[in-house]
């Protein structure tokens, strides 16, 4: 859980997740949307992957990234506790 909050605590990484909603993208396509170096984006993608928020699949020389929202459920559940049963 720690690592998921950590992964979400960065505007670039959140923007990547939002982008991946519309379609799966290669690392390069993702990087093209930011004024940040490729290696930095690669590092962000690695963090998102560690948090299991994205899945990486190699296709030839490309690496396709896609959303994995199962871990989002955990965070949702944690947050919802604060919205339940109150006087």
Partner DNA sequence: GCGATATTTAGACATTTGTCTAAATATACA
Partner DNA sequence: TGTATATTTAGACAAATGTCTAAATATCGC
- Contacts with its own copies, residue ranges (CB under 8 A): 2, 5-6, 8-9, 11, 14, 17-18, 21, 67, 69, 72-73, 75-76, 78-83
By CB under 7 A, name the one of 61, 70, 81, 84 that touches DNA.
61
**Alpha-carbon Rg of the chain, whole angstroms?**
15
By beta-carbon proximity to DNA, the closer residue of 31 and 67 is 31
Q: Is 10 helix (H, G, I), strand (E, B) or coil?
A: coil
Task: Please report whether residue 18 would count as binding DNA according to CB under 7 A.
Answer: no
- The torsion of the CA quartet 69, 7, 74, 58, rounded to 10 degrees, works out to 30
Q: CB–CB of 65/20 below 8 Å?
A: yes
- Per rule CB under 7 A, is residue 46 in the interface with DNA? yes
**From the list 19, 26, 52, 71, which residue makes contact with DNA (rule: CB under 7 A)?**
26
């Amino acid at each position: 859980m720690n690592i998921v909050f950590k992964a979400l605590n960065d505007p670039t990484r959140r923007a990547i997740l939002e982008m991946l909603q519309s379609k799966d993208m290669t690392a390069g396509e993702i990087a093209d949307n930011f004024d940040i170096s490729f290696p930095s984006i690669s590092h962000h993608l690695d963090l998102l992957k560690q948090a299991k928020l994205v899945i990486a699949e190699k296709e030839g020389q490309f690496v396709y990234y896609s959303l994995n929202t199962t871990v989002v459920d955990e965070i949702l559940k944690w947050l919802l506790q604060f919205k339940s049963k109150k006087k």
